[in-house]
């Protein structure tokens, strides 16, 4: 039998196309309304959770300022760069917060905008520094570096971060926008339905894989100045390097995440006690978030991106961060039988004067 074909008059075909388009617009509008409702619900739940915690602290009685020692007054900010294993690491903090007695708070910015308005910067700094009920606190979110000293703050929070090979990060983000990951597999992604591979995108000169999309780790470390977000700015890279050295307690790399966690546990046990063992026994299986349908780029694709001055700058920053991390690690651990062990205290005090009677 031949194929059965149903012929429709041109007018009916046009009406059918219009009806389909209207239906799609209606569905998109409903989806947008649902997303807005979900966002409002999440904010309401977050406000309720905050009120519960504050009420619980009020019932327990106020803590006098003198009782807040250095560790209890500590605040860590993890201004996480997208697609650098940030969710995997943050989940470690969530798993430990009850046991180690600290609070974890997600900084949820509208549309994941990493640049805060000036008034939001003031609010954020005030929250971080004066919100005693949330101390000790671990704040995380996709927000660029913010210099607390500009706002007259005497005690600044501790900044930490993780960065990744720039091309690997971009490839992961490209497929994440299209296929999501195994962390929330049912969530609809912005580019869902686009089956084009990263190689095809680069070959065709697509915007989602353009070298300009590599410019992200530098501005995240550079901060809220306009020049930080000027793609290819040498000043921005120099400022990012300065901040990494002078304003960040520790910056790890995705490729050596376990070592990053080990160093944090050794240096900041108030927050990370038990983190290394948790990551080794549970984290590698349950926490590592894998992007779905990701295809590794070809050598030709990588070579084409590496011709860009933007890649050269982002890669220079990545290599700079990697060198700093490896230097810190080399002075903090020793290797035995292929495993790393944290060094014990390697200094002591002597010749203490005046002598007591």
State the catalytic residue, choosing from 48, 57, 106, 140. 140
- Active site annotation includes 103: no
Point out the catalytic residue in the list 103, 106, 142, 287: 142
331 is catalytic: no
CB 120 within 8 A of CB 154: no
**Rounded-to-integer distance, Cα 147 and Cα 355, Å:** 44
Whether cis (ω within 30° of 0) applies to the bond prior to 335 is no
CA geometry: angle 36, 90, 83, nearest 5 deg: 70
- Nearest CA-CA partner of 173 in 236, 109, 98, 86: 86
Is 17 exposed, middle or buried (CB count within 10 Å of its CB: 0-12, 13-18, 19+)?
exposed
Q: Which residues of 80-98 are buried (b: 16+ CB within 10 A; e: fewer)?
A: bbbbbbbbbbbbbbebbbe
Q: Cis bond leading into 136, ω under 30°?
A: yes
Query: Looking at the annotation, which residues are catalytic?
Result: 140, 142
């Amino acid at each position: 039998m031949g194929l059965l074909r149903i012929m429709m008059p041109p007018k009916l075909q046009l009406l059918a196309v219009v009806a389909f388009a209207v239906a799609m617009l209606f569905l998109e509008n409903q989806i947008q309304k649902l997303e807005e409702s979900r966002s409002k619900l999440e904010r309401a739940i977050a406000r309720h959770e905050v009120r519960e915690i504050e009420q619980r602290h009020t019932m327990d009685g106020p803590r006098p300022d003198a009782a807040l020692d250095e560790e209890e007054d500590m605040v860590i900010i993890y201004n996480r760069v997208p697609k650098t294993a940030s969710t995997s690491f943050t989940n470690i903090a969530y798993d430990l917060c009850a046991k180690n007695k600290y609070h974890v708070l997600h900084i949820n910015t509208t549309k994941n905008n990493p640049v805060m308005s000036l008034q939001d910067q003031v609010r954020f700094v005030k929250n971080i520094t004066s919100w005693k009920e949330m101390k000790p606190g671990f704040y995380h979110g996709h927000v660029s570096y913010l210099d607390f000293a500009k706002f007259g703050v005497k005690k600044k929070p501790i900044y930490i971060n993780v960065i990744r090979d720039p091309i690997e990060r971009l490839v992961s983000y490209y497929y994440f926008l299209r296929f999501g990951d195994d962390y929330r597999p049912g969530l609809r992604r912005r580019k869902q339905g686009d089956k084009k591979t990263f190689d095809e995108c680069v070959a065709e000169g697509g915007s989602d894989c353009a070298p300009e999309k590599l410019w992200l780790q530098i501005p995240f470390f550079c901060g809220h100045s306009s020049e930080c977000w000027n793609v290819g700015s040498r000043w921005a890279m120099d400022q990012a390097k300065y901040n990494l050295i002078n304003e960040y307690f520790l910056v790890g790399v995705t490729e050596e995440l376990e070592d990053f966690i080990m160093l944090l546990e050794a240096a900041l046990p108030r927050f990370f006690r038990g983190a290394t063992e948790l990551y080794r026994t549970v984290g590698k299986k349950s926490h590592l978030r894998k992007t779905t349908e990701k295809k590794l780029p070809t050598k030709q694709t990588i070579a084409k991106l590496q011709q860009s001055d933007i890649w050269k700058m982002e890669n220079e920053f990545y290599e700079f961060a990697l060198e700093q991390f490896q230097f810190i690690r080399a002075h903090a651990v020793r290797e035995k039988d292929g495993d790393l062990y944290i060094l014990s205290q390697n200094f002591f005090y002597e010749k203490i004067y005046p002598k007591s009677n």
